[in-house]
A and B are shown apart, each in its own frame.
Chain A
Amino acid sequence: MQVTSVVRDPLVTGGKTVHDVSHDISRQVEGKPTKLWWTAMAVSLAVLAYGFYCVCVLLWNGIGMWGLNKTVGWAWDITNFVWWVGIGHAGTLISAILLLFRQRWRMSINRAAEAMTIFAVICAATFPLMHMGRLWLGFYWALPLPNAFGSLWVNFNSPLLWDVFAISTYFTVSLVFWYMGLIPDFAVIRDRAVVQGNKVRASVYNALSFGWQGGAKTWMRYESVALILAGLSTPLVLSVHTIVSMDFATSVIPGWHTTIFPPYFVAGAIFSGFAMVLTLLLVTRKVFKLEDYITIYHIELMNIIIIVTGSIVGIAYITELFISWYSGVEYEGYAFFNRVQGPYAWAYWSMMTCNVISPQLFWVKKIRTSLVATFVLSIVVNIGMWFERFVIIVTSLHRDYIPSSWTMFHPTMYDIGEYLFTFGFFFTAFLLFAKFFPVINMAEVKSIVKATSEKVSHSDSHHDSHA
């Protein structure tokens, strides 16, 4: 913590003091929401309402409303599930893995990224839950609870059950980690509310802060808790997408039965997650005027992670293709030939363009430090990563071993509707978070403000002495 590099740019610009940090961030929570916020909220709620209607119809009639058929038994549901879980991974990477590596630039982005993780995991969980058809019986089917059939227990040999444990643990631990970070910041808002004489806000935020006081002993324990949570979350996040990939990899379907899936999925998850973090943060920093906290330097570093993970994903695609030929297995070979040349070639080539070519543009410094280019490319990457899951799932299924059962998948409005439902939920939740919770971790940023401002003043005096 005490080591600061002189060659690095300051992490917080604009010569902020510790008090400025409290003020700049708490002000968003205390003030009335802006017109832009209300507009965004209205759009999200409209999407959510339409999605909710589709979800209700689905629950009433069953998942026959989806476009699935006998050959393609998994399509948009699992595609969207994997896509959302993948997006969540960036939040944990930023908050846990970068904490263990002492990357201090994560401090102004971890709060929003973790919030994104939590909402994305909820969105992801919607799909397997809905796929159960009778959602309300899901607990009996998915958890090892005593039941009236024997008890007949769940099958612990199944990767689908591992997923239940992985996703629910991941959600719970991420939520706890995120909330622990919020506790001292809620206390900042509480104490400001006491000064401003707003009793209601003071008691609400006091309850949220669990009566935080900030004594040295509590801080010592708190830091120890944060470090261990980071240590636990790091293997956890890697295990989650590994297990998700095993849903496919442990099967014997050509195109799924691949040993490189775990690392390939984890890299893809971080890749898409960082793209979503960028999409959200570029908007958040503009709307809430946080340009001094989330600087171009932060954006550039995130773009570099996108180049790294995007290149890993690219290598994985090429390895898959090569092995399908080199293995000499004709079914494996056909599955990939069909991806590249078959009726879903448009999806395959969209994936290749968005995921392999577009992140390579970030090698150019001008592009990776440009807000517009970053914003556009972050959306392109998210589209590409959606296609990746679609390609893996649908193209492997739609032409199975018996040509008479070959078919195509066509989504219905209920496939699309449920996807929109998760979007509506995600953005509604994120907007509520951005309004009522401090979007930047104040306590952590305060601990680096002094080092940063000293460096600025130091370099100023350095210039003066030369002048």
Chain B
Amino acid sequence: MKKTALLIAALTCATVSLAAAGVSGAASDGGSKATAGTLTGAGATFPFPLISKWIPAYDQASGTQVNYSPIGSGGGIAAITARTVDFGASDAPLSPDQFTACKGCVQIPWALSATAVIYNIPGAPQGLRLTPALIAQMYLGSVTKWNAPGIKKLNPGVNLPDLKITPVYRSDGSGTSYNFTDFLTKTSPTWKDKVGTGTSVSWPTGVGARGSAGVTGVVTRTDGGITYADVAYALTNKLKFARVQNQAKKFTLPGLRSINAAASSVGKVTGNGEISIVNPAKSQPLAYPISTFTYALAPTASPKADELRKFIYWAITSGQKFGPALLFAPLPKQVLAFDYKQIKKIQAST
């Protein structure tokens, strides 16, 4: 009993160091080709529903066993930088610093989906209309009631109650937060100044919770709550989400068509492969403005280069057919063309 406090302190720290080592521990033999037919990956939770469909299908198609731990984008970047996994995955593109740290990594956009803006207002219907400016003001704490004139004007005929708006955000580092804050940064100068874009940011107001389940859990139990999560999650859990105004001043729901429209704004993909399809130009009137690519991260020198190339190639070609059911839109041609070039850069390490 005397040691309880000490033990807890020790455990807290042990967890911290384990988190670092655990990523590596789980897959420490990743680099030493333990079995010929296995690949180990870790990273973003956002593409996990899709990846978990890929794993058995790819096993059947090729005999290669893929293991994937959905530990979050940040964890994925850390793991591939330390080369403790064969591939990483992240929703947030690597920053230039992270690219340098990763020493010869390629970033391959391999899936495409959207972030839904979820709300809980008793009596309000699905598809409430919101502008980027209003969403930013809610998360900045300057619009605080659901019956604010701005919201009422956009939604005539909807009975909006005099209810406090409770913005809910992800307390863990998350690619979904990256996508959402990127959208706010690109649409609201105040947001850009005060907060900015990141997998975790300094939220000016609201309540934090862990994971998509955490944030939507708080929102479903808090009248007046608003949050964001990937659209597949919102749909499977029958949550109400908003129509968000795009640059063409149209209000769109996240769905395959509107995600595709956003993705078709992509020109030729160059450089590191970072693609932002957030708030696309008004030439895409159907586009849902909070859409995002999610990336596979692979080393250019890998002991399992052959398997890795095959798996990623399969994922961006045959693997895409599993997407639509989970609201992942198929990759556009320009992106595929870029991906083929990137995949070729993965070479066997000597």
Genuine A/B complex: no
